[in-house]
Amino acid sequence: MYTNNTIKGSLARLSYAIQNLEIISHEWSIPILRFLRSNDSVDFIQLQHETNLPPIILQKQIDALQEVGIVKISKEKNVRMYEMDHYKMLRIQLMVKQLIDQPIQIYDNY
């Protein structure tokens, strides 16, 4: 029997995994991820040049990717540097694989 907290926790994990799955499934269509996958650390100007995105849209994408933990930001000589967290990306892929292999089952006792 599941308690409300168990169900809420499972749904929260599922929601988080789905959000990350959306990013993973579109990984190659997101120019930032394609570029960061092949580069260790880049600045905003390099990202803007490689992605051809307007600065406002680029910043929104960076913020969204940072929110789920895929893009890390560091400072080098007063310049913001962006890099992909490859370990986090692998963890998300593993989590998604586990959800596919062993889906969460919620039973209705009514």
The model's pLDDT over 61-99, given as tens digits with 9 standing for 90+, comes to: 888 888 877 888 888 777 888 888 777 777 776 776 776
Residue 108 pLDDT level (bands cut at 50, 70, 90): low
Boundaries of every domain in the chain: 8-101
Mean pLDDT on 5-12: 71
- φ, ψ of residue 89 in degrees (nearest 5): -60, -45
Half-sphere exposure of 78 (CA within 13 A, CB side): 0
User: What pLDDT was estimated at residue 21?
Assistant: 62
Predicted pLDDT of residue 56:
92
CATH says 8-101 is which class? Answer: mainly alpha
Distance set, CA 96 to CA 8, 37, 71, 104 (Å): 18, 20, 18, 12
The two structure tokens encoding residue 8: 């809420």
Above 70 in pLDDT, residue 107?
A: no
pLDDT in tens, 9-57: 777 776 776 666 665 555 556 777 778 877 778 888 998 998 888 999 8
Q: Which of the two residues, 104 and 77, has the higher pLDDT score?
A: 77
User: Looking at residue 26, what is its pLDDT?
Assistant: 56
Structure token pair of residue 36: 């960061």
